[in-house]
Amino acid sequence: MGLPIFIVTLEDALCRRQSLIDSLARWDLPFELWWAVDGRKGLTPDHESLIDRDAARKRMRREMGNAEFACALSHHMIYRAICESCPDGAIILEDDAIPDPRFATIADRAIAGGMDMLLLDHKNADVSRVEQVALAEDVDAFRLLFSPHLTTGYALSANAARTLVEQSLPLSYTADWPIDISRMNSWAVHPRLVNHPDPDEDPAQSTISADRIGRRPRSFGEKLARWINPERRRRLKIRERIS
């Protein structure tokens, strides 16, 4: 039996998730709809207790909007559920995910071989040139060196979910990613098996995009600290970027 599949979606986003549901049904892949936290009208006191707006301002170098916090909270709640009821891990898909047909061929073994995470969609993924695993014909996974962007589609183990729950509270960053996932045994698939709409062409993306405020530039001290970090410099020597 394959890994459980969760679709993160707002309850009223019927049209937005229908294409994904149709694809999974066509491939006989069962799934569960996971109702996302709705930040369009603000956050509840319970949700506010799980976030830190001041810390987010420092980490992001800008204000984080309610929609961004809501997205991060939604993924966090799924991690909790995986810890409690998915001992083999799970696959998480956002409702605008566009899975490739090859997704169905690896859905039952997306985190085999001791992987903590496998990113099925990613942006600006810096991976190791020397750590590569074949997942299927013409589908490989590469070990992540740094945390990339996007949470459109990914698989994670129960151990990874537990780490994300324990180390990310209070939430002070976007869903991608509250901690450095490259510190776990995290991999990125190539070619990507999940795609995403162009945010400029998808009006539904504006819920989060419109909530973002410009980020201040890094200070000289912040830039210097990044570049003199020995572990970062070591990883840069074996880095390769995939898309």
Tens digit of each residue's pLDDT (9 = 90 or more) over 86-129 = 999 999 999 999 999 999 999 988 887 889 999 999 998 999 98
Domain ranges of the chain: 5-242
Return the percent helix, strand and coil in the chain, to nearest 5: 35, 25, 40
Q: Judge: domain 5-242, CATH 3.90.550.
A: yes
pTM for this model (two decimals):
0.88
How far apart are the C-alpha atoms of 220 and 96, rounded to whole Å?
38
| Burial of 194 per CB tally in 10 Å (0-12, 13-18, 19+) | buried
Q: What is the pLDDT of residues 152-189, one digit of tens each?
A: 999 999 999 999 999 999 999 999 999 999 999 999 99
Distance (Å) of CA 24 to CA 18, 99, 158:
10, 9, 23
User: Looking at 8-12, 72-76, 105-109, 143-147, which range is the least confident one?
Assistant: 105-109
Provide CB contacts within 8 A for 112, sequence distance 6+: none
